[in-house]
């Protein structure tokens, strides 16, 4: 402030000195060529010395004023008018008055930033004024960011006033991101106003992402989709890109009876929507574990099936899982094996059994449709009926042996009673024992002869083979 006051005082001093200067009286010539003073000069002759003294004082005052005014002028051009930048602006075709630069300095507006921005805008064929940029700067607008964004929009043939872009900036909108999204949409022949994108941005929506998703949907032929649909899905914490890609894939595969809301619901349910759509488009083949059943003839069979599944879009949410479908198939397979009259019938035509399982509509109430069931492997196990009969015979033999032992004990008790009662003598007892020993000997001899006969037959067979 002090330097400005000194500058003003220097100008006032210069004006005062100029106003105090007096004109020197002229000298007239007579007819004889002799110089003569005019009447006025004669009258002023007495004051010549006084005038000379005053002229010397004026010269000194001018000299002193020049000494004071010179630095003031230098300070004036240095502080208020950047001559180099001003001249550069003139060369670029910009006409900016010194008064405008002085006002900018008084308002503390950065002249260099304003002039460089104006030059850049002029080279980009934008018509802007220093006053307009100064006003936006004083309103706390980042003029470099806004003007650069405006240049980019202009190059993309978007007509956006500087004031509107500055207003969006002041509303805390990322103008660079919004303009980028608008340019992307325009390149895809989509006309989306900046106000719409700005409102979505202020709603904390990634405008670039939803514009890309909208372009993908429209390019796939689904022009009914709107930016608001994608905005709602994004604000619901959905993956917009994945959902739209899955939706497009489903439309291209001509899947019946579904809408975008159905695909969006799958994504919001926490299911990988792309994998779910792939499962709905491309059937999946799943092989069951070995299922064991017993036919009515008692023979055990173990079978494996290949189940071809296709997912239902509308039933993925809340429908039973793949494990449920396979469990139902295993249960039905075991039941069909058990109803088969013989294992030979199953081995002869196993696919008939698989068809009976397939016809039971086991995918009802689940997220999958069973397209086909095929036999993958079949093995014959134990003859459970024969094993049961063998076990039963063994049990009966053990029972007979127990009864024999019980009967022998009864005989011994009867013999003891007979000895006591005198109904059996020692002689009778010895004869009975001799008879029993003779019977055992005969039985033993018979077994030995039978064994020798068997060996003889084997030797004869060997001899026959040799011949």
pLDDT digits (tens, 9 = 90+) for 248-266: 888 888 877 778 888 888 8
What angle in degrees, to the nearest 10, is found between the helix axes of 175-187 and 194-202? 130
Using 50, 70 and 90 to split pLDDT, how confident is the model at 298? Answer: confident
Is there a domain that residue 429 lies in?
A: no
Do residues 290 and 270 both lie within one domain? no
Is there a domain that residue 442 lies in?
A: no
> Measuring CA to CA, which residue among 355, 339, 356, 329 is closest to residue 301?
339
Do residues 204 and 230 both lie within one domain? yes
Query: Which range, of 173-182, 228-237, 354-363, averages the lowest pLDDT?
Result: 354-363
At residue 175, the pLDDT reads 92
Do residues 310 and 382 both lie within one domain? yes
Domain CATH number, residue 328: 3.30.479.30
Is there a domain that residue 204 lies in?
A: yes
* pLDDT score of 422 more than 80: no
Q: How many domains does the chain have?
A: 2
Do residues 289 and 318 both lie within one domain? yes
Using 50, 70 and 90 to split pLDDT, how confident is the model at 145? Answer: very high
Is there a domain that residue 95 lies in?
A: no
Residue that is last in its domain, among 260, 282, 304: 282
Across 36-59, average pLDDT: 47
Top-confidence residue, 208 or 379:
208
CB atoms within 10 A of CB 357: 23
Is there a domain that residue 244 lies in?
A: yes
Do residues 214 and 201 both lie within one domain? yes
> Measuring CA to CA, which residue among 155, 231, 246, 151 is closest to residue 198?
231
Do residues 288 and 278 both lie within one domain? no
Residue that is last in its domain, among 364, 386, 408: 386
Is there a domain that residue 124 lies in?
A: no
Is there a domain that residue 175 lies in?
A: yes
| Mean pLDDT computed over every residue of the chain | 74
Do residues 217 and 307 both lie within one domain? no
- Which structural domain, as residue segments, surrounds residue 196? 171-282
Residue that is last in its domain, among 234, 260, 282: 282
At residue 41, the pLDDT reads 42
Using 50, 70 and 90 to split pLDDT, how confident is the model at 38? Answer: very low
Question: Which residues, in sequence order, are CB contacts of 151 under 8 Å at separation 6+?
Answer: 120, 121, 124, 126
76 neighbors 7 (Cβ within 8 angstroms)? yes
Is there a domain that residue 218 lies in?
A: yes
Output the six-digit token pair for 327: 């469990």
> Measuring CA to CA, which residue among 188, 381, 414 is closest to residue 294?
381
Question: Residue 305 forms beta bridges with which residues?
Answer: 375
> Measuring CA to CA, which residue among 143, 144, 165 is closest to residue 153?
165
């Amino acid at each position: 402030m002090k330097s400005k006051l000194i500058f003003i005082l220097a100008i006032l001093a210069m004006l005062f000195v100029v106003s105090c200067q007096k004109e020197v009286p002229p000298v007239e010539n007579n007819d004889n060529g002799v110089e003569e003073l005019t009447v006025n000069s004669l009258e002023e002759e007495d004051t010549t010395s006084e005038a000379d003294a005053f002229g010397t004082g004026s010269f000194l005052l001018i000299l002193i004023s020049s000494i004071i005014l010179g630095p003031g002028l230098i300070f004036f051009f240095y502080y208020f008018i950047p001559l180099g930048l001003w001249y550069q602006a003139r060369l670029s075709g910009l006409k900016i008055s010194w008064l405008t630069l002085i006002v900018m300095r008084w308002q503390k507006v950065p002249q260099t930033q304003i002039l460089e921005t104006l030059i850049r805008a002029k080279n980009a064929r934008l018509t802007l004024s220093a006053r307009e940029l100064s006003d936006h700067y004083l309103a706390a607008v980042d003029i470099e960011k806004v003007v650069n964004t405006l240049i980019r929009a202009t190059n993309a043939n978007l007509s956006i006033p500087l004031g509107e872009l500055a207003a969006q900036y002041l509303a805390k909108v990322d103008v660079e991101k919004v303009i980028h999204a608008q340019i992307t949409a325009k390149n895809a022949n989509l006309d989306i106003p900046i106000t719409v994108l700005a409102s979505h941005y202020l709603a904390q929506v990634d405008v670039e992402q939803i514009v890309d998703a909208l372009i993908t949907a429209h390019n796939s032929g689904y022009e009914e989709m709107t930016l608001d649909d994608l905005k709602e899905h994004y604000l619901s914490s959905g993956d917009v890109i994945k959902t739209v890609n899955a939706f497009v894939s489903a439309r291209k595969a001509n899947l019946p009876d579904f809408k975008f809301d159905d695909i969006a619901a799958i994504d919001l349910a926490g299911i990988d929507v792309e994998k779910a759509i792939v499962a709905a488009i491309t059937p999946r083949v799943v092989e069951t574990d070995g299922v064991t059943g017993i036919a009515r003839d008692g023979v055990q069979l173990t079978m494996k099936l290949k189940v071809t599944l296709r997912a239902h879009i509308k039933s993925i949410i809340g429908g039973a899982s793949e494990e449920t479908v396979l469990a139902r198939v295993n249960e039905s397979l075991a039941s069909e094996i058990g109803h088969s009259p013989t294992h030979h019938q199953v081995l002869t035509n196993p696919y008939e059994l698989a068809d009976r399982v397939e016809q039971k509509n086991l995918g009802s109430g689940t997220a999958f449709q069973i397209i086909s069931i095929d036999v993958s492997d079949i093995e014959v196990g134990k003859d459970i009926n024969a094993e049961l009969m063998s076990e039963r015979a063994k049990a009966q033999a053990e029972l007979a042996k127990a009864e024999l032992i019980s009967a022998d004990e009864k005989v011994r008790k009867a013999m003891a009673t007979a000895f006591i009662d005198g109904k059996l003598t020692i002689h009778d007892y010895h004869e009975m024992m001799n008879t029993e020993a003779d019977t055992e000997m005969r039985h033993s001899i018979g077994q030995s002869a039978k064994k020798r006969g068997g060996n003889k037959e084997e030797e004869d067979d060997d001899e026959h083979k040799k011949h």
